[in-house]
Structure 1
Amino acid sequence: MILLLLFLIAIPFFIFLLQKHIKKYDPSYNPPPRPKGLRLIGNLHQYDPSKPHIYFAKLANIHGPIFSLQFGSVQVVVVHSAKLAKEVLQTQDLNFCYRPLTLCARKLSYNGLDVVFAQSLDYFREINKVCVVHLFSSKKIESLAQIRQEEVLRMINRISTLSFSSEIINLSEVLMSFSNSNICRTAFGKRYDDDEGSKRNRFHTLLNDAQALFATFSFADYFPSMGWLDKLTGLSAKLEKTFNDLEAFYEEVINDHLDPNRPRSEHEDLIDVMLNLRENRSLTFDLTMDHIKAVLMNIFIAGTDATTATLVWAMTELVKNPTCMRKVQHELRNSTLNNEGYVSMEDLPKLEYLKLVVKETLRYHPASPLLVVREALEKCSIEGYDILPKTLMFVNAWAIARDSEYWPNPDIFMPERFMGNSIDYKGKDFEYIPFGAGRKICPGMQLGVATVEVALANLLYSFDWELPDGMKIEDIDTDTLPGVTMHKKNPLCLVAKKYA
């Protein structure tokens, strides 16, 4: 990317086109402070896309809790305090509840027909309500408990088989497979991932490619006249291939539901609901197959991603912190469980320390450190600074959750900090917003937390976890992959010893 940008700067023709996008603001315009950049590309050459939350946090130490950047022709503002997060996500939520349709988001969301990138509030309310009522309501989550339990036990049995030979287990891969199977059965009524290596790799590769695209640099997004360069970089071809692969998967899911010989399911899943709504014309707009596919994209990618990342980070931190591991396993193994041999959903309310571990994991490693970027609808003011329409607004939830003003010893993994603490992740306490807040708070947070808790409980109850021979705790890295969801870069590989 850097070479292309240098090439871009070197050619006068490119310079001429880029200058057309430089905005001349009136002298009264008072933007948030910003680091010095280059005239044509702004701060793009300084940006670290691999760890943007850390890059932004370093800039906040210099420029304060609100600062701006120039990415090509696009204005960017980043906020780093609970007070400013509340301003963006609650006080001025209506102005910041839209999300920009980048090149990749536009393609993969079918031009904003999904929940996350919906471009109309009326449409968002209606399509979001369909998902919340038929997948994310408390009643629905409770009714799907058996599916979660079955998928957890399937995962435990798979690990048990590997543990007999003391084989090193790629826990990241196992948890990705579990999360994918669970969300597919929950939302689509059928498991679309099995134990065949080739098929499993197909889905994992598809998920990774799709997720990475949302964080990939595109010339079209920052230099509209230079969008054709995305073909030279290979982005356009990769986007098209990933879209076609996803489209084939969605077609498979929908065709399964349209099959008249399909076995009757005990639970009506989200696809059943949406197909019925389409047939009966029950919504205020004509529900097309593209609408359904766009929602499938949210469920398939976001549902699998966030759960996998949170479970991997929880296990990573527990292995790095043996005292916490012993405490949570002692609680699990000395509690009176309803079902001998595994932890059920009914057991979870008794497991106080387990819940503290999950909450601390969400603080220490929020799945989406910058939340999903928002876009200003109209000109407004924050802390006396002018924010122009179309400005991209990032909320650094990761940095806020590590702010010493709210969190003593913020850089230490310490579940006990939540003991007797009323702070919760439901969008009311702005020093702790792993799922966001406001109108577009993550609708699946309750389902996600329920899944993480029961999966983590069984992993810790059923096995003692050890590092591979020759590896030490300090060798466990916390490097991350670029993306909206922050996955551990290197797989978490451990040895599982069956607990007698």
Structure 2
Amino acid sequence: MDFSSSLSTLIFYYVVATVIPVVYILTKLRSKPSGRLPPGPRPWPLIGNILQVGKNVNESFSELAKIHGPLMTLHLGWRTTVVASSPAMARQVLQTQDQSLSARTMIEAAKCLEYGENSLVWRDCVPRWRTLRRICTTQLFTVKRLEALHQLRREQVRSMMGAIYKSTSAPLDIGHAAFLTSFNMVGNMLFSKDMFDWDESEKSKEFKKALNEMLFVGGKPNWADYFPFLNPFDPQGIRKEMTRIFRIMFAVFDQYIDERLKSGTRSEEEDKDFLDILLQSKTETGEKLTKFEITRFFYDLFTAGSETTSNTIEWAMSEIIRNPMVMEKARDELDKVVGKERRVQESDIDNLPYLHAVVKETFRLHPVSSLLIHHRALNSCEIEGYVIPKDAQVFVNVWAIGRDPNVWREPERFFPERFMDSDVEYKGQNFELLPFGSGRRMCPGIPLAHKIVHVVVATLLQCFDWQLPNGQNPEKLDMSAKFGITLQKAEHLIAIPTPRLPHHIYN
């Protein structure tokens, strides 16, 4: 390190050491809540409870909740944080107090290139957010629209199956295969084009690298989010990195939009893809959405539509391989309902109750959004006699709820049978199973995720036998998780496929 940079560093830390105590005291005096906060661990001066939270935040929150209760207060730096860790408390946050707790605290990483201001995920429930939400629920993810694009999804599943068939007996990264498939499904629904090819072109490699970097950088704890006075300094360089990554990703989206603007949108309803719909949509003021807004919106659709679904598929296949009896039952159901002379289709999903149970059990044990993206209190409200102060951030620990022994029998066991005679669904009404959230902030893409996860898992099970490499014992498969924007497997699932259907099925 040269002298000038060393001097700059010394000056920075001097300023921080001088300013922090003053700003902290003033902030605490101004923001002291007028009512009783939910219980929680005693915070340290200045830093709060940060040192009590490990790298897997969902697990740390769960352990603290066992001590302090299902509605708990933490002070993460200077941010008052409330964590709900039971179905009853989740109902209070997401239903009873939905209107008061529907805002967001926008993290610094989301502010780059004005992404957050045009995001369905991060923006408060203002008129423009309601416009994007309405487009999702009434035009993009309707039964009619998804059915019209059914053939595109079917073709992507066929491509996945064919690519795996060609690499038979070679170890396969199942999560990567699921990611390519789901990403191309979303790409075809948005642009009527594949985003990646299975041979990994340079363009697809660059985009995929940027996406992986985004998930890593965007999921890192950012000191500027916990100590707002650090925002101008960007001490970890996260804003700089996210700006670089967003530029790469947005440039790709811009290219597709420019091509469509040049060629013109399609007017026939059955031929439209999502881009046609968005280019023809009107905002709450009667204006059309701009390219700038659509680009940011596409980022949300791609991340939610591919990363979360592919992670769920990888978790599901990991549990299936780890539990041979589950694999046998799911496969027997497929053989009875679908047979071995054709591939499973989306139209078969409703007739596969055990497959449904497998997916629900995966959502319970391995929710990809383990802590629903935090809410923010628009105004002070009350839950169970405790005050949630204005501007507090509120998490719902879906991961903890799914492993609560007061809710689930043998919660650590992967046991799909628990759902065979159960009415519990994951569409927001049952607060013990909330992989997509509930209330006005609930994920609008549930119908698409439902189709992709079920048909991809069913295809992988029906078409191939799976063995772990090097004679690895399935029962000892590493199931540890890595916390970030999504909850990923710490070690990717690598397995060897062997075809189990007649060869003509794979052509």
Counterpart Cα distance in 2 of 1:213 and 1:377: 28
The residue number in structure 1 matching 2:329 is 327
The residue number in structure 2 matching 1:372 is 373
Equivalent positions of 1:156-175 (< 5 A) are: 156-163=161-168, 166-175=169-178
Counterpart Cα distance in 1 of 2:380 and 2:67: 26
Counterpart Cα distance in 1 of 2:208 and 2:310: 11
The residue number in structure 1 matching 2:222 is 218
The residue number in structure 1 matching 2:35 is 29
Q: 1:12 to 1:26 in 2, by over 3 A?
A: closer
The residue number in structure 1 matching 2:91 is 86
- Do 2:372 and 2:397's aligned partners in 1 also have CA atoms closer than 8 Å? yes
Q: 1:439 to 1:254 in 2, by over 3 A?
A: same
The residue number in structure 2 matching 1:301 is 303
Residue range with higher mean Cα deviation, 477-486 or 387-396? 477-486
Counterpart Cα distance in 2 of 1:439 and 1:474: 40
Q: 1:371 to 1:27 in 2, by over 3 A?
A: closer
> C-alpha displacement at 1:36, in angstroms?
2.1
Q: 1:131 to 1:188 in 2, by over 3 A?
A: farther
The residue number in structure 2 matching 1:245 is 248
Q: 1:331 to 1:54 in 2, by over 3 A?
A: same
> C-alpha displacement at 1:399, in angstroms?
1.1
Partner-residue secondary structure (3-state), 1:329? helix
Which of 145, 150, 169 aligns to 2:150? It is 145
1:412 equivalent in alignment to 2:413: yes
- Do 1:93 and 1:439's aligned partners in 2 also have CA atoms closer than 8 Å? yes
- The amino acid that maps onto 2:230 is M
The residue number in structure 2 matching 1:316 is 318
- Do 1:34 and 1:68's aligned partners in 2 also have CA atoms closer than 8 Å? yes
Q: 1:285 to 1:69 in 2, by over 3 A?
A: farther
Counterpart Cα distance in 1 of 2:70 and 2:483: 23
Q: 1:109 to 1:189 in 2, by over 3 A?
A: farther
Which of 99, 102, 105 aligns to 1:100? It is 105
Counterpart Cα distance in 2 of 1:216 and 1:71: 15
The residue number in structure 2 matching 1:11 is 17
- Do 1:167 and 1:495's aligned partners in 2 also have CA atoms closer than 8 Å? yes
> C-alpha displacement at 1:29, in angstroms?
2.9
The residue number in structure 1 matching 2:486 is 485
> C-alpha displacement at 1:474, in angstroms?
4.0
The residue number in structure 2 matching 1:135 is 140
- Do 1:177 and 1:200's aligned partners in 2 also have CA atoms closer than 8 Å? no
The residue number in structure 1 matching 2:59 is 54
Alignment coverage as a number of residue pairs: 488
> C-alpha displacement at 1:26, in angstroms?
5.7
- Do 2:428 and 2:438's aligned partners in 1 also have CA atoms closer than 8 Å? yes
The residue number in structure 2 matching 1:352 is 353
> C-alpha displacement at 1:343, in angstroms?
0.6
Q: For residues 328-358 of structure 1, give each alpha carbon's deviation from its aligned partner in whole angstroms, at most 9, with x where no partner exists.
A: 1111123245x93311122222212111111
Partner-residue secondary structure (3-state), 2:471? coil
Q: 1:283 to 1:414 in 2, by over 3 A?
A: farther
- Do 1:108 and 1:294's aligned partners in 2 also have CA atoms closer than 8 Å? no
Counterpart Cα distance in 2 of 1:262 and 1:33: 56
- The amino acid that maps onto 2:429 is K
Counterpart Cα distance in 1 of 2:14 and 2:377: 29
Counterpart Cα distance in 2 of 1:111 and 1:318: 37
Which of 164, 176, 180 aligns to 2:179? It is 176
The residue number in structure 1 matching 2:441 is 440
- The amino acid that maps onto 2:395 is F
The residue number in structure 2 matching 1:38 is 44
Counterpart Cα distance in 1 of 2:481 and 2:15: 30
Counterpart Cα distance in 2 of 1:477 and 1:9: 45
Q: For residues 219-249 of structure 1, give each alpha carbon's deviation from its aligned partner in whole angstroms, at most 9, with x where no partner exists.
A: 332222222442x422122111112112212
1:256 equivalent in alignment to 2:259: yes
Partner-residue secondary structure (3-state), 1:181? helix
- Do 1:210 and 1:301's aligned partners in 2 also have CA atoms closer than 8 Å? no
- The amino acid that maps onto 2:192 is G
Q: 1:10 to 1:46 in 2, by over 3 A?
A: farther
- Do 2:102 and 2:124's aligned partners in 1 also have CA atoms closer than 8 Å? no
- Do 1:329 and 1:460's aligned partners in 2 also have CA atoms closer than 8 Å? yes
Counterpart Cα distance in 1 of 2:264 and 2:98: 47
Structure 1: where are the runs of 5+ without partners?
none
- The amino acid that maps onto 2:250 is E
Counterpart Cα distance in 1 of 2:159 and 2:413: 33
The residue number in structure 2 matching 1:272 is 276
1:186 equivalent in alignment to 2:189: yes
> C-alpha displacement at 1:8, in angstroms?
8.6
Q: 1:342 to 1:283 in 2, by over 3 A?
A: farther
- The amino acid that maps onto 1:158 is A
- The amino acid that maps onto 2:194 is R
Counterpart Cα distance in 2 of 1:480 and 1:175: 18
Q: TM-score, normalised by structure 1?
A: 0.92
> C-alpha displacement at 1:252, in angstroms?
1.7
- Do 2:108 and 2:231's aligned partners in 1 also have CA atoms closer than 8 Å? no
Q: 1:254 to 1:23 in 2, by over 3 A?
A: farther
- The amino acid that maps onto 2:43 is G
- The amino acid that maps onto 1:124 is W
Q: TM-score, normalised by structure 2?
A: 0.90
Task: Calculate percent identity across the aligned residue pairs.
Answer: 33
Partner-residue secondary structure (3-state), 1:494? strand
> C-alpha displacement at 1:28, in angstroms?
5.2
Counterpart Cα distance in 2 of 1:251 and 1:159: 32
1:72 equivalent in alignment to 2:74: no
Counterpart Cα distance in 1 of 2:113 and 2:275: 18
- Do 2:131 and 2:284's aligned partners in 1 also have CA atoms closer than 8 Å? no
> C-alpha displacement at 1:19, in angstroms?
3.8
Q: For residues 411-468 of structure 1, give each alpha carbon's deviation from its aligned partner in whole angstroms, at most 9, with x where no partner exists.
A: 1101100012111111111111111111111100111011111111111000000010
Partner-residue secondary structure (3-state), 2:404? coil
Partner-residue secondary structure (3-state), 1:68? strand
Counterpart Cα distance in 2 of 1:497 and 1:259: 46
- The amino acid that maps onto 1:313 is W
Q: For residues 186-234 of structure 1, give each alpha carbon's deviation from its aligned partner in whole angstroms, at most 9, with x where no partner exists.
A: 122211111233444323322222233443222332222222442x422
- The amino acid that maps onto 2:303 is I
Q: 1:334 to 1:271 in 2, by over 3 A?
A: same
Q: 1:397 to 1:9 in 2, by over 3 A?
A: farther
- What is the RMSD of the two structures over their aligned residues, measured on CA atoms? 2.4
